[in-house]
Structure 1
């Protein structure tokens, strides 16, 4: 039942996205992905500045990761959300971004 509801909500969200321009679709998906990541980053990475960390994760996620995270935003984060966050965070470009943007915010 839970899975059916989740799929229905995701399908409805995708139907709305289809009516948007590609740029609007991308922004909506990124905002939804950010929404799914916020509680995960807050809980799993305490002390890390939230906004810079979210920016680094979203900016370094691939399209498939953004879509999966956006789907997780519908009903809340899952174990998959955490795994995707860890996968993105382990990319060298994400680590560089966090070092450049996250550490200075931490030192303020």
Structure 2
């Protein structure tokens, strides 16, 4: 809880762009274990980029909050929803698959 309070206080002094970047970084922390467990062997960095880039702001905020408590069933559902978007699948095909084939 203390970490959450400190995070909120830090965000208050940030610009909207800085807040977005911090939320995206926090969301990455929640997404990483989900991808590692659900999609073993998939290159994490390009996959994370595709998921983050195709998440909407509500999803980013929810995932950022999940980074404080750790992944939950909600985290898994949000990541699954993002991964199944056509634009995420296109990104994964363009960015993730080539990394896997290297």
Q: What TM-score range do you get, normalising by the shorter chain?
A: over 0.9
CA apart distance, 1:12: 4.1
TM-score for the superposition, normalised by structure 1: 0.89
Gapped regions of structure 2 (runs ≥ 5): none
Describe the SS at the equivalent of 2:29.
helix
CA apart distance, 1:47: 1.3
Describe the SS at the equivalent of 2:14.
coil
Aligned to 1:18: 12
Aligned-partner Cα distance in 2 for 1:52–1:17: 27
Aligned to 1:47: 41
Choose which of 86, 89, 93 in structure 1 pairs with 2:87: 93
RMSD: 1.2
Q: Moved runs in structure 1, 4+ residues, more than 6 A? A: none
Gapped regions of structure 1 (runs ≥ 5): none
Aligned-partner Cα distance in 1 for 2:54–2:8: 22
Aligned-partner Cα distance in 2 for 1:9–1:55: 25
Describe how 1:1-80 pairs up with structure 2 within 5 A.
5=1, 9-80=3-74
The count of aligned residue pairs is 102
C-alpha offsets along residues 12-51 of structure 1, whole Å, 9 cap, x if unaligned?
Answer: 4223211101111010000000000001100111111100
Aligned-partner Cα distance in 1 for 2:4–2:62: 10
